[in-house]
Amino acid sequence: MGAITVAIVPASPNQTEPAAPDWCDLAVVGGGILGLAVARELVRRNPRSSVCVLEREGELAAHQSGHNSGVIHAGVYYRPGSLKARLCVEGAREMYEYCLERGVSNEKCGKVIIASKPSEVPRLEELERRGNANGAPGLRRIDSLHIEEIEPHAVGIAGLYSPATGIVDFQAVARAYAHDLLESGGAIATGCEVSDVEVKARSLALAHARGGTNTGHAIFCAGVWADRIAVSAGADPDPRIVPFRGAYLRLAPERRHLVRSLIYPVPDPSLPFLGVHLTRRIDGDVLLGPTALIALARDAYRLGRVRYKDLRDTVAWPGTWRMLARWWSAGASELRHAALRSALVRLAARYVPELRVADVQPAFVGLRAQALARDGTLLDDFAFSQTERALHVRSAPSPGASASLAIARYVVDEAQRALGLER
């Protein structure tokens, strides 16, 4: 199959196409990879119901799903028994099958996690234990010679090799989900930001930028805006989303040979989302990053962007101050990495010593929807909540894209159970 094109209800003010529907049986708010996967699953299980995705931007997968590392995670890191562990292993397997079936380019290129000092070796052993408990396929411990065989320019004292980790363009996957949805009779309306949710006797009224849609039930997959829309539907404000800005660098084309596939550090188990990695992309680019800095706007792709409402929500949340008090030292080093390209490159050069500042250039920025509890705990697992006639995805961090098919199945199972959707 060639490039997948998706015809959607456009956002143009002069549109001649039909507007967002006045009514649908099942609405999904958010046209990222999760919203589209959920809508696709809904339409497959409820072929007689009308399903519609309402997306605020003019295009699909415009936020996290289109600005990430593009890694199909195999399930190594996560606490055994967690949703992440289960859904990542299942989801990654399904992702490879889906890409094969739909002709989406991907590569099971493998990943090496490298310990660069003795104090990291026990954590590497713990990762191996977790990965095996989770059922991550083919994990094996490797020594420094094997590290060099797999990644000739990398060094380390010990490593963990995950052959089932791979790469894909998740935006292309999201487009394929959208295509499946439309083919099965679902609808997608872009430029359709949902601003309010009103519970009626037998429906929900969603007010949005293109009027309003009444729906029997709704599933909200709003990424970095998930807390705001959940609260407007009557959900608990805990957890709040605090946006983290992750900037990537890319290796100059003539230096890409320094990285064959994926080179990762041993993560700090309390801050697993930190850690600069070297990632080959499916288009051949090699990324270095990302940084992780609290953003002053939920769409702070530009460094100077500040949105008063976003800033106020972050600052007014007690969890923000508790998190900062606890993690100020990690925060300070992240600030240094974000401010000084040389500091970020030095960090990556622990694993690939030939790397120089002159080898890199700015690439792109991703805005991470970090769910933060009132007590300052950074939510690590996937989290959901329920309101009248609705389910909300409250936290779907990495490996949310890898696990999207499995998360969609889980969410629709929950919707059938909790909302009484037709089976």
Residue 397 binds to ligand FAD (criterion: CB under 6 A): yes
403 CB neighbour count, 10 Å cutoff: 32
Q: Which of 64, 52, 62 is nearest to 25 (CA)?
A: 52
Query: Cβ closer to ligand FAD: 221 or 345?
Result: 221
CB 144 to ligand FAD: min, Å: 26
Which region, judged by CB under 6 A, interacts with ligand FAD, from 12-20, 109-117, 220-228, 321-329? 220-228
| Cβ pair 26, 34 in contact under 8 A | no
Please identify, among the stretches 180-188, 196-204, 300-308, 395-403, the one whose residues bind ligand FAD according to the rule CB under 6 A. Answer: 395-403
- Select 30 or 319, whichever has its Cβ closest to ligand FAD: 30
Interface with ligand FAD includes 240 (CB under 6 A)? Answer: no
Residues 290-329 that bind ligand FAD (CB under 6 A): 290
Please report whether residue 387 would count as binding ligand FAD according to CB under 6 A. no
Distance CA 262, CA 248 (A): 15
Of 6, 24, 26, 31, the one binding ligand FAD (CB under 6 A) is 31
Based on the shown chain and the rule CB under 6 A, indicate whether residue 193 belongs to the binding site for ligand FAD.
Answer: yes
165 lines the binding site for ligand FAD (CB under 6 A):
no
**CA–CA distances in Å: residue 9 to residues 18, 20, 339, 348, 371:** 7, 7, 41, 44, 31
Cβ contacts of 33 within 8 Å, gap of 6 or more: 61, 65, 170, 173, 174, 177, 400, 401, 404
CB of 286 to ligand FAD, least distance (A): 14
CB of 55 to ligand FAD, least distance (A): 5
Give CA 201 to chain center in angstroms.
35
Interaction between residue 213 and ligand FAD (CB under 6 A): no
Q: Which residues contact 228 (CB under 8 A, 6 or more apart)?
A: 222, 241, 313
Binding to ligand FAD (CB under 6 A) within 42-81 occurs at: 54-57, 61-65, 68-71, 73
- Which stretch of DSSP H or E encloses residue 72? strand 71-72
**H/E/C letters for each residue in 75-87?**
CCCCCCCCHHHHH
Is 243 an interacting residue with respect to ligand FAD (CB under 6 A)? no
106 is a contact residue toward ligand FAD (CB under 6 A)? no
User: Using alpha carbons only, what angle is made at residue 355 by residues 363 and 343, rounded to the nearest 5 degrees?
Assistant: 70
CA distance 258 to 269: 28
Q: Of the candidates 33, 177, 153, 43, which has an alpha carbon nearest to the alpha carbon of residue 101?
A: 177
Of 421, 76, 358, residue with least CA distance to 218: 421
Between the alpha carbon of residue 85 and those of residues 81, 139, 393, 398, 402, the distances in Å are 6, 15, 17, 11, 12
**Is residue 176 at the binding interface for ligand FAD, with CB under 6 A as the rule?**
no
**Per rule CB under 6 A, count of chain residues that contact ligand FAD:** 41
Write the interaction track for ligand FAD spanning residues 365-384; mark x where CB under 6 A is met and - where it is not.
Answer: -x-x----------------
Q: 114 or 188, CB closer to ligand FAD?
A: 188
Which member of 399, 405, 409, 411 binds ligand FAD (CB under 6 A)?
399
Q: Which of 182, 266, 278, 396 binds ligand FAD (CB under 6 A)?
A: 396
Binding residues vs ligand FAD (CB under 6 A): 29-35, 54-57, 61-65, 68-71, 73, 193-194, 221-225, 229, 246, 290, 366, 368, 393, 396-402
